[in-house]
Chain A
Amino acid sequence: MSVNIGIKNVVKKYGDNIVIPDLSLTINEGEFFTLLGPSGCGKTTLLRMIAGFNSIEGGDIYFNDKRINDLDPAKRNIGMVFQNYAIFPHLTVRDNVAFGLKQKKMDKKTIAEQTDKFMKLMHIDEYADRMPERLSGGQQQRVALARALVIQPDVLLMDEPLSNLDAKLRVEMRTVIKEIQHSVGITTVYVTHDQEEAMAVSDRIAVMNLGEIQHIGTPKTLYQRPANLFVSSFIGRTNIFDGKLKVTGGKTMLCLENGYEVELKNVLEPYRKDQDVKVSIRPEEFVINVEGKGIPARIDDSVFLGLNTHYFVTTAAGVKAEIVQESQIDSILPQGMDIFMTVKSEKINVLTADGSKNILTGVINDKPE
């Protein structure tokens, strides 16, 4: 049985140090929900509050309609996967997986059946009688996942489960995790600081910074229409420029360096007035213009990565920027070459001058107001 998780105005303090001032969010039943943010943003703290390992200094956490603030961690029926896996080193793989079931005093037959089922599901049945120290990192991770899922928890919590794996295994395991989550259909809260990993596995992501939620949305909305400057630069790569909005003859024009102007059709009504703005332009939203139109820049360096080629440039006004272009069969533009850049106006994001709000239409933010 899966549940939805309601977090209402929770507060976390360590002494006088407030880590989470006031945080609310709702996680839907069966959803793969990720808490994403830089280290120290409070994401693990929040996860451990849901798990019951951290006390809650204010607010409430609900599983469906049941308030769980004071419920013992052992009674929350939670499956948890830890960063270091926390496999019991003194127990075999089978005993590790069966641990939670034995704790529930289930009959031997059911325990054996369930344990076998989940070991098969995670493809660790062939190591059933091995001790954990003789398993690789990826295999240990599978054991941890099987152990967490076999007890049929209401909620699966994962705290940076892939950060101890090497890059290739990380990609492989995140597919495994996503597939398992979908087949079991369990409400999952996943913590990571790796935005690519978050995008790969999540139904929805909550971007956190300094104990506050910045933006909740699907990977696509977060990337394409970030709610603010922090989200735009934390999710994916971006270039930030200063710009000006000018409204002339019913048209809203964005003015960038060197008098380069583009018309924006998607600025929110209240913001259609002359003002300074911040512009977030992702590397792939630039077009290198050979006709002498756009922002003038000089190429400092280039990196060929097969599919794409990255150019690192400095504009005439001294702003450093990154451009990504699909690699061409002919030559790579040489260092020191002067170029001009235009932007794909429907893709770029325009934010208030303080960066606190995206002023374009189409921003979808599930963060409760």
Chain B
Amino acid sequence: MKKTGKRMDIWTVISLSILALYGLFLLYPLFKLLMESVYKNGAFTWQYFAKFFSNPYYGITLSHSFQLSIVSTIFALVLGVPLAYFYNMYEIKGRTLIQIIIVLCCMSAPFIGAYAWVQLRGNNGIITRFIADIIGHKPPSIYGFRGIVVVLTLQLFPLVHMLVSGALKNVDNSLLEASENMGVTGVKRFFKVVIPLCMPTILAAALLVFMRAFADYGTPLLIGQGYQTFPVIIYNEYFGETGTDHNFAAAVAVIAIIITAIIFLFQKWLSNRFEFHMNALHPIEMKKAKGIKNVLIHLYTYIIVGLAFMPQVYVMYCSFRATSGKIFVPGFALTSYKKIAEDVPLAIKNTFVIGLIALAAVILLAILIAYLVVRRRSKLNDAIDTASMIPYIIPGSVVGIALVIAFNRKPLILTGTAFIMIVALCIRRIPYTIRSSVAILQQIPITVEEAAISLGCSKLEAFFKATVPMMANGVLSGAILSWVTIITELSTGVILYNRSTITLTLSIYTMVSRGSDGPAAAYATILNVLTVISMLVFLRFSKNKDISF
């Protein structure tokens, strides 16, 4: 009896290569980060962790971060889930525009929102003064906890909307008709049928939103006014003006990873209890709401989407205001644009070159990994699956710091290169693209690939000629979001960039931190225009008119 064991084939080679990449660019940096947190001048020490836990100041930042993240997550769900419901159940005028605005909102860097809200509702903001004129005294301040929650909620509910919309597209219309048949309609149906059906997605959205809120440091920095949060410490200790302590920053980063990992596991445990799969044969048909209901639905949609979009509009408006030095003066002019004219081409070029290379790498790696995970289950590929999900729970700034620690010294000096920016973007974005690719691949029968093989294709040929084209449409609709995320990514880039690799988003950030409001607004406007163009191009060429995660 001859035994035909598992032979080395091309997919084994791919598995090993991908694992090697993850080892070098993710596990090794994280290992270095861990080392940095417990070694001082070559000697093992717990002193940095001790410092964190012994000083109540740091403990408070942790509790601040939790409070903020929990409250923002709840608000984002409360606003986002009904929005998704209305948007997918009823005809709403101006759908495409609303969709583009929603993507713009959740993809813009949070600090732009914070910055604009300071301008609008700060001590001397336009709206603050307007309200003060009407009611005779100043309205409650936006700074601190309240402001951060407002900014984060408005930033994050669009994300909830997009994820839940995706789930609603998989709800079969007959389920809704059945519940109607049994007398469950309207609000009752929303709570008894729609919400439970979307529960797995709502939990996933909650996790994502929580993680974003927890990891964000731009917003508290700008609008917190002394309300210190956890990520701000990491950032200050690593890049602050004075008294930086890299080892301590590393220790705090490690604590951050542990916390997010625990939250991730908790969410996973929770969502396992709601696990089921849906596939709609007959998707929900949008209806036209009647009378007052129709008015209310439109009002709700326009008002909250408008609120979320207001900062963007304000920033775009500011970019055309006349400036004198760093201050806005009455009237309109293109001075802000003139100021940045020299630097814009490089920023745009970097945005596109780095972004496109990263996008291509993300898509290629994600579909390869998805294939390995779905079709070639093995211990090796499970390890890749796990490794690829690690960045999902690691704050972007921590990824950035880990990469700096690992690659700013020999033998491999990569900091400041475009390459390390691309690596960082890939690491950050791949988990999302893998999840969507896995979902797509699970829908494709394996027989299609076998058909190609029996018609003479090699394994790799069958993959690229049969499976990949079938995945293409689904992957494409995820790709546009990856692209928008990549060009607006800030948290890792801000740690890894230098003058020659600066992108549009990073330019906005540097301008804001220098107090150059006009140029910052101009950069932000250019970025928004590029984002809109990208999405219009996508919507023009995509078969299904949906942007999905």
Contacts and interface: CB of A to CB of B under 8 A. Distances in A.
Interface of A: 11, 51-53, 55-60, 69-70, 72-76, 78-80, 82-84, 86-91, 99-100, 103-104, 144, 147-148, 151, 157
Given A73-B450, A89-B470, 17 more contacts: A52-B453, A57-B4, A58-B1, A73-B454, A74-B456, A74-B458, A76-B454, A80-B451, A80-B454, A86-B447, A86-B450, A87-B448, A88-B451, A99-B452, A99-B455, A151-B456, A157-B454
Contact of B447 (A56, A84, A147): A84
B470 A80 contact: no
Given A88-B466, A90-B469, A151-B455, A83 B448 contact: no
A72 B470 CA distance: 24
Nearest to B466: A88
Contacts of B453: 52-53, 73-74
Contacts of A55: 4
B447 A103 contact: no
Given A69-B4, A88-B470, A99-B452, A74 B457 contact: yes
Q: By CB atoms of chain B within 10 A, which of A11, A52, A82, A148 has the most? A: A82
B450 A51 contact: yes
B379 interface: no
Contact of A90 (B2, B456, B470): B470
Sorted nearest first, the 6 A-B pairs with minimum C-beta distance are A100-B455, A86-B447, A103-B456, A86-B451, A82-B447, A90-B469
26 contacts: A51-B454, A52-B453, A53-B450, A57-B3, A58-B1, A59-B1, A69-B2, A69-B4, A70-B4, A72-B458, A73-B454, A74-B456, A78-B454, A80-B450, A80-B451, A80-B454, A84-B447, A86-B445, A86-B451, A88-B451, A88-B469, A100-B456, A103-B457, A147-B451, A147-B455, A157-B454
Contacts of A59: 1
A103 B454 CA distance: 11
A52 B447 CA distance: 13
B472 interface: yes
Contacts of B1: 11, 57-59
Binding site secondary structure of chain B? helix
Contacts of A78: 454
Contacts of B445: 82, 84, 86
Given A59-B1, A69-B4, A82 B451 contact: yes
**A60, A75, A80, A90: residue with the most chain B Cβ atoms closer than 10 Å:** A90
Interface string B426-466: 00000000000000000001011011111111100100011
B376 to A, nearest CB: 14
B4 A86 contact: no
Contacts of A69: 2, 4
A56 B4 CA distance: 7
Nearest to A151: B455
Contacts of B3: 57
Contacts of A91: 469
Nearest to B467: A88
B469 A79 contact: no
A59 B3 CA distance: 9
Given A58-B1, A89-B470, A82 B450 contact: yes
A136 to B, nearest CB: 18
Contacts of B4: 55-57, 69-70
A144 B452 CA distance: 12
Interface in B458-517: 458, 461, 465-466, 469-470, 472
A18 to B, nearest CB: 13
A69 B457 CA distance: 18
A69 B36 CA distance: 54
Contacts of B454: 51-52, 73-74, 76, 78-80, 148, 157
Interface in B229-269: none
A53 B1 CA distance: 19
Contacts of A99: 452, 455, 465
B161 to A, nearest CB: 30
Contacts of A53: 450, 453
A162 to B, nearest CB: 15
A70 B452 CA distance: 19
Interface in B46-83: none
A338 B116 CA distance: 94
Contacts of B2: 58, 60, 69
B317 to A, nearest CB: 45
A84 B2 CA distance: 33
A326 B1 CA distance: 55
A55 B2 CA distance: 11
Contacts of A75: 456
Nearest to B5: A55
Interface string B1-24: 111100000000000000000000
Contacts of A83: 447
Contacts of A157: 454
Contacts of A79: 454
A100 B453 CA distance: 9
Nearest to A55: B4
A86 B465 CA distance: 13
A90 B451 contact: no
A80 B454 CA distance: 7
A103 B456 CA distance: 6
B7 to A, nearest CB: 9
A144 to B, nearest CB: 8
The residue among B455, B465, B466 with the most chain A CB atoms within 10 A of its own CB is B455
Contacts of A151: 455-456
A51 B450 CA distance: 9
A33 to B, nearest CB: 18
B450 to A, nearest CB: 5
A152 B182 CA distance: 57
A239 B447 CA distance: 39
Contacts of B465: 99
**Which of B456, B458, B466, B470 gathers most chain A CB within 10 Å?**
B456
B456 A104 contact: yes
Interface in B122-147: none
A75 B459 CA distance: 12
A134 to B, nearest CB: 14
B451 A103 contact: no
Nearest to A73: B453
A84 B461 CA distance: 21
Contacts of B456: 74-75, 100, 103-104, 151
Interface in B186-203: none
Interface in B272-327: none
Nearest to B458: A74
Contacts of A104: 456
Contacts of A147: 451, 455
A211 B50 CA distance: 65
B469 to A, nearest CB: 4
A52 B459 CA distance: 12
Contacts of B461: 103
Contacts of B455: 74, 99-100, 103, 147, 151
A125 B436 CA distance: 37
Nearest to A150: B455
B16 to A, nearest CB: 21
A60 to B, nearest CB: 8
A82 B2 CA distance: 29
A262 B365 CA distance: 75
A90 B447 contact: no
A279 B455 CA distance: 48
A331 to B, nearest CB: 45
Nearest to A81: B451
Nearest to A157: B454
Contacts of A70: 4
From B3, B451, B457, B458, name the one whose CB has the most chain A CB atoms within 10 angstroms.
B451
Contacts of A103: 455-457, 461
Q: Which of B3, B448, B454: most chain A Cβ within 10 A?
A: B454
A17 to B, nearest CB: 17
